[in-house]
Structure 1
Amino acid sequence: MAGESGPSESDPPSRRGGVSGDARPGGGRARWFVVAVILVLAAGSVAFLFVERRSGCDDSERYTVAVTADLAPVIEGTSVSACTEFEVVEQEPGEVSARLATDDVPDLWLPAGGWWASWAGETATGPVRTVSTPLATTPLVIAGAPGTVEPAADWQEALSDPGLVFGNPLRSGPAAGAIRAVLAEAADDPVAMGTVRPVMAPLAEREGVRDEEVPTGSTLLEETVADGGTVVSTEQQVETYRSVHKRELGIEVPATGTLLVDYPVVVTARGERHDAAAAAATALTDALHTSEGLDRLTRHGFRDGGGRPLPDGRGAGAVPVLELDDETVAEEAMNVWALQALPVRTVFAVDVSASMNRDLGDESRIELVRRAATAANEVLPGNVSAGLWFFGGGVSDYATLPNDRAEATGDYIVAAPIRRFDAVVDDGTQRDLLTSLVAQMAGTADETTALYDTILAAFRYVQDSYDPRAANSVVVVTDGADNGSAMSKDELLAVLSNENDPSRPVRIVTIGLGEDVDTATLEQIAAATGGVSYRTSDPLDITELVLTALADRTGG
């Protein structure tokens, strides 16, 4: 729904997306966020120290403030109470969200979009508390060199432009805001996601093939304009470009309106620092609500917290404002984006113990897995990265051991290390190698199954070679219970719980075959890493389950 952005004498209204009180790790709604951590935690940051130390202050307290590069100059130039230091750290909201799942957190956070605080609170390991109405706002726009930006009836049409540079909505405020704008336009549609998926698919596909993270903020705007393209940006970034480069840009707001990116103050300090950081947040808020603070925001191209247009005819003027009332559809959209944009990186670990030679229906279990894995190799895209492990008694003497195995033990062998399907290996590709290995896959003569030891080894293998731009996982196929590991189930679960790192998530996905499989244990193992467990006794299901598990990016 939309309302008009224009002058108002009232106090700046609260915007949706903040969290009142402490927000701590939640349930299934946080699936997409874990994927966001994959993408953004490794990104760098820039820190600046702003000190306001006045006479009579023997000792000062320093607080880290995480903001985007666009807002950093405003915070750096803001004077607060005596004895207070602010260290300004330039980070995108998705990067800060990832940090909040670890112990390395800022004291204060001004996200480019209050909704980030709500999302981050789902998986944060400490408080995420919004303590103010927005200090500033800026509307989303489509920007480019003069004459390159075409009018659009709505955001769905604007984002459908194949030449539009979009950005990463799991990291950037404007990119996430643009998806929210499409959802807000479809707020009266009971199947709103159906209108968004066709828009997101080509954008996510372009993101998925990138070798490097797309730039953000003013840097993205400058690079896109230099290349003659158009980009999802903000009024503030356009005003900064005009001021720095002394050149005009073309901007358009879809006829339906636009979304305001808001900047609330969020307290994320832990323990005893939390209350003191909240007091510093109040001081910062008060300083930016003064006439001097509001003037500083305006000079840097920001609107006030109420979204009043910039003075002197600058910017986009009065625009209809789109607001998203249902936060769950935005979370679903982020999950869909993650599913479409993130490449898969996995170890496929197959039980080849003697029990896999038994029939399930008209074929042996190992033959059903062989056929399913072959089908997966044929249809999964070239940007999938996969390795192949075999485990079970007698596997060290397995006839199909290749020369490039990474490791061999009495419990399992690494038949092929993780590589992209389209990577060149010898005279073919990784896909060719995996297809050949799967074709030779056969059960051993030994019933021993070191399931727990193999799962932990595979988990550590993927974690040690973790790729932050992929969905990292271990897919395990077995038909039985553990009867050969050095460790117990409880020991495995304890180790997985201790070593599972939300900032470097590796999902364990299990597929149990037949009636004898220890379903409860497989479910516990998968759950310990946020993964998912499947079981079937129907041979017709196995191919679909293998494809689903290999393509899984979030774990359930």
Structure 2
Amino acid sequence: MRRRVLLGPLAAAVGLTVVGGLGAYALAGTGGGCSGDGTLTLAVAAAPDVAPAVARAVGRFNDDGNEVGGKCVRARVSATDPVAVATLLSGRGSAGVTQKPDVWIPDSTLWTKLVQGTAGNQAGNLTDLGSMAGTPIVVAMPKTLAGQLREKGVPAQPSWEDLLRAAGTAENSTKDPADGEGRGGIPRRLFRLQVPDPNRTATGMGALTLAGTLLSRVQGGEALFTGAVRTFREGIAASVDAEFTAFRKERGERYPVALAPEQAVFGYNARRPAEPAVAVHPAEGTVLLDYPVVNLSRDSAKGRASGLLMKALTSAATRDDLRRLGFRTSDGTAPPQFSASNGLDPRGLHALSTPPPAEVRRTMQSWARLSLSIRMLSIIDVSGSMDEEVAPGVTRLQSTISTAQGGLSLLPDDTELGQWVFSTRLQGDQDWREMVSVGPLGERLGSSTRRQLVLSAFAQMRAKEHGDTGLYDTVMAAFDYMKRTYKPEFVNSILLWTDGRNEDPGGPSLRATLDVLRREYDPERPVPVFMFGYGRDVDVAELREIARATRGEVFVADTPGQVQEIFLKAISRRVCAPNC
């Protein structure tokens, strides 16, 4: 069916006129009905993708001459980005909307829950009258890619975990032992994930809450969520439309794959692009964008009028309009035009429940912290005891370096990282030595990038024979350096690896070290110290006191496997820093 047949009736009925550059539009064709001083007018703010159908419903509503308390009721519609209304209702200022609408139709209940979970909530009365439409968040991929995965035996409904693992493999990470393929048979480095900004779209926010919900059920979920956030962060798109613009794969590039509403896939394919999209529904289920109709007015008459409008928004005529736009009904029933030929699965879907307001707020707070770039000083103990074997042919230092190398591959190029080593008297009387200065991993320093220099530094590290552990001096020097060079646009932290306890009799005492750290700690410029204790000789109490003074944490491991596990856990602690 051609696009003019599918969308023509709605496009002809609705005219969009920009009234503000930040997301609000006035809609023509909203009907007549009544006007004048005796008219009760409802201001309706509708998400842009559903606004054409809302405008037609409002036109019919206005023409019907509805009354409340002897007053004629009329509605006026604006197509408004949900983030603009949510910003106003949350008390965070204005993003193009300065007046609270009487009726709000965002694309997802996630917006209302986010507003309810905000301390500065200005919404007042917020009554959800029900859903008027639905569209699930799907994995939209080029038809060519979908065919390749099918030929490789990848299930038609792969798991979210397999998709995220395949998409999140860094270009510079080590080769996967399964001959280049991740779990579920999905080849690594075949595609890159695109996600619309979670701060501005329900699709992005829904993808985050989905990841949080699914990963909370598995062991090590906090660390896995950190990895998912990193994958999302690297693939942020300006909008859903921008995701599909990138569906033009150049030779040698990874295929673009988008997290997008199913309805957007329908709209994209209706334009008959050179590379159509296929909407993939992952096995575990997905988040349904449910288009709630929300009464925001404290006025009882407007409340009753909103109830009358809701009937028009859920009428058979409106459902037909919504189906022509590619929306499912609120119970998930697909439009009749969905088929494999246009990349859309008409079968029912498994919609995961929407989390409560507090969980939505926590997820977005985690995103706000984890999506910040990292600025980190890594410090590795090279005292003599690090040369002891912890596995056949593997020393404690080699195991530590291997873990650090794996961690390095997870960090994007805009991460600022530096590398020190420490023991005793490594540089004159100084217990530490800088091997690579702190700066962006992607920055070129001579003929190499900083990332390459850090990898080279790992290869050069050797345990100092008979070297002791100058822990206190090193911690104070590192803390002083990171505080002096603090950058507020980054999460600043220190990661220190050691297998022992302070053994520098000529250095400061523990009490003197703690006094300095407590005095110099600034909650406005936090630099938490994360301590990695490796082995049975670690003084955990000593490390814990140092970490506590800087709002950091201690992680202790006895085996190489535990070292790798706790490293990922430590990185994920950035969710709560500096208040862990």
Using the size of structure 2 for normalisation, the TM-score is 0.51
Q: For residues 426 and 42 of structure 2, what CA distance do their matches in structure 1 show?
A: 61
Q: In the alignment, does 2:328 pair up with 1:300?
A: no
Structure 2, unpaired ranges of 5+: 1-20, 63-72, 164-183, 390-394, 503-508
Q: 1:346 to 1:475 in 2, by over 3 A?
A: farther
Q: CA deviation at 1:431?
A: 0.9
Percent identity, please: 12
* Separation (CA, whole Å) in 1 of partners of 2:438 and 2:57: 53
Q: Are the equivalent residues in 2 in contact too, given 1:50–1:76 (CA < 8 A)?
A: no
The answer for unaligned runs of 5 or more in structure 1 is: 1-44, 269-273, 406-413, 501-505, 527-531
The counterpart of 1:387, out of the listed 418, 422, 434, is 418
Alignment pair present for 1:220 and 2:196 = no
Structure 2 counterparts to residues 26-425 of structure 1, below 5 A: 46-50=22-26, 55-56=36-37, 67=47, 70-71=49-50, 88-89=80-81, 112-114=107-109, 120=114, 124-127=118-121, 131-139=128-136, 154-156=156-158, 166-168=193-195, 171=198, 207=231, 210=234, 213-214=236-237, 216-224=239-247, 233-244=260-271, 251=278, 259=286, 261-265=288-292, 287=309, 289-290=311-312, 291=315, 294=319, 297-310=322-335, 319-324=347-352, 345-348=374-377, 350=379, 374-382=401-409, 384=411, 385=415, 386-388=417-419, 416-420=437-441, 423-425=443-445
The structural deviation recorded for 1:236 is 1.8
Tell me how far apart the structure 2 counterparts of residues 398 and 462 of structure 1 sit (CA, whole Å): 27
1:464 maps to a residue whose letter is: P
After TM superposition, the structure 1 = structure 2 runs for residues 510-521 of structure 1, keeping only pairs within 5 Å, are 510-511=531-532, 514=539, 517=542, 519-520=544-545
Mapped to 1, the partners of 2:511 and 2:209 lie a distance apart of: 47
Instruction: Please identify the structure whose Cα radius of gyration is greater.
Output: 2
Equivalent residues in 2 for 1:513-532 (5 A)?
A: 514=539, 517=542, 519-520=544-545, 522-523=547-548, 525-526=550-551
Cα distance per residue 1:429-479 (max 9 Å; x no partner):
33156448966998898976885x96486368454342xxxx764435685
Q: Deviations over 1:278-316 (max 9, x none)?
A: 998997786454147656544533234333443677985
- The two structures, once aligned, show a CA RMSD in angstroms of 6.9
Change (3 A) 1:278 1:456: farther
**Cα distance in 1 between the residues matched to 2:402 and 2:517:** 34
Partner of 2:482: 458
Mapped pair 1:426 → 2:446:
yes
Question: Do the aligned partners of residues 362 and 220 (structure 1) sit closer, same or farther apart at CA in structure 2, a change above 3 Å counting?
Answer: closer
Q: Flag the 1:239–1:434 CA change in 2: closer, same or farther, 3 A.
A: same
Q: How far 1:167 moved relative to its partner? A: 3.1
Asked if the contact 1:514–1:535 (Cα under 8 Å) also holds between the matched residues in 2, the reply is: no
For the residue of structure 2 that corresponds to 1:167, the secondary structure is strand
Distance apart, 1:387 and its partner CA: 1.7
Report if aligned partners of 1:346, 1:550 keep a CA contact under 8 Å in 2.
Answer: no
Aligned equivalents of 1:547, 1:379: Cα separation in 2: 10
Do the aligned partners of 2:555 and 2:570 also contact (CA within 8 Å) in 1? no
Counterpart of 1:70, as a letter, is D
Q: Taking structure 1 as reference, are residues 57 and 253 closer, same or farther at Cα in structure 2, changes over 3 Å only? A: same
1:483 alignment partner in structure 2: 512
Contact kept, 8 Å, 1:258 with 1:322, in 2: the verdict is yes
1:47 Cα deviation after fit? 2.0
> 1:518 & 1:90 partners in 2: Cα distance?
47
Task: Indicate if the aligned counterparts of 1:450 and 1:485 stay in contact, CA closer than 8 A.
Answer: no
1:137 deviates by 0.3
In structure 2, relative to structure 1, the CA distance for the partners of 1:102 and 1:540 (3 Å cut) is farther
For residue 49 of structure 2, what is the amino acid of its counterpart? D
Compute the displacement of 1:514 (Å). Answer: 1.7
Question: Offset of 1:534 from its aligned partner?
Answer: 1.2
- Conservation of the 8 A alpha-carbon contact between 2:42 and 2:302: no
The secondary structure found in structure 2 opposite 1:155 is coil
Distance 2:302 2:480 in 1: 45
Distance 1:226 1:374, change over 3 A: closer
Task: Report Cα offsets for 1:351-379 as digits up to 9, x if no partner.
Answer: 99xxx98989989xxxx997776444544
**SS across alignment from 1:483:** helix
Equivalent pair of 2:532/2:554 in contact (CA under 8 Å): yes
Residue 320 of structure 1 deviates from its aligned partner by 1.9
Q: Could you tell me whether the CA contact under 8 Å between 1:391 and 1:454 is conserved in 2? A: no
Where 1:168 maps in the other structure, the secondary structure is strand
For residues 27-48 of structure 1, what are the alpha-carbon distances to aligned partners after superposition, in whole Å with 9 as ceiling and x for unaligned?
Answer: xxxxxxxxxxxxxxxxxx9422
C-alpha distance in structure 2 between counterparts of 1:213 and 1:174, whole Å: 12
Shift of 1:425: 2.5
User: C-alpha displacement at 1:261, in angstroms?
Assistant: 2.1
CA distance in 2, matches of 1:390, 1:303: 59
Q: 1:369 to 1:546 in 2, by over 3 A?
A: farther
Q: CA deviation at 1:142?
A: 6.4
1:179-209 deviations in Å (ceiling 9; x for gaps)? 999999xx9xx99859x99xx99x9699479
The 2-side partners of 1:144 and 1:343 are apart by 28
Instruction: State the alpha-carbon separation in 2 of the partners of residues 548 and 136 from structure 1.
Output: 40
Mapped partners of 2:139, 2:290: distance in 1: 20
C-alpha separation between the residues in 1 aligned to 2:209 and 2:470? 57
Distance in 2 (alpha carbons) for counterparts of 1:255 and 1:394: 56
Cα gap change, 1:552 to 1:321, in 2 (>3 Å): closer
1:11 maps to what in 2? none
Cα 1:483–1:250 change in 2 (3 A) is closer
Deviation of 1:509 (Å): 3.0
2: distance between equivalents of 1:230 and 1:349? Answer: 34
CA, structure 1 residues 181+524, in 2 after alignment: closer, same or farther (shift >3 Å)?
A: closer
SS at match of 1:236: helix
- Aligned amino acid, residue 489 of structure 1: R
Measure the CA separation in 2 of the matches of 1:537 and 1:317: 48
Paired position in structure 2 for 1:28: none
Flag the 1:85–1:170 CA change in 2: closer, same or farther, 3 A: closer
Between the aligned partners of 2:94 and 2:424, the Cα distance in structure 1 is 44
Contact residue 403 and residue 567 of structure 2 kept, 8 A: yes
CA distance in 1, matches of 2:421, 2:117: 34
Question: Which residue matches 2:172?
Answer: none
Distance 1:542 1:193 in 2: 17
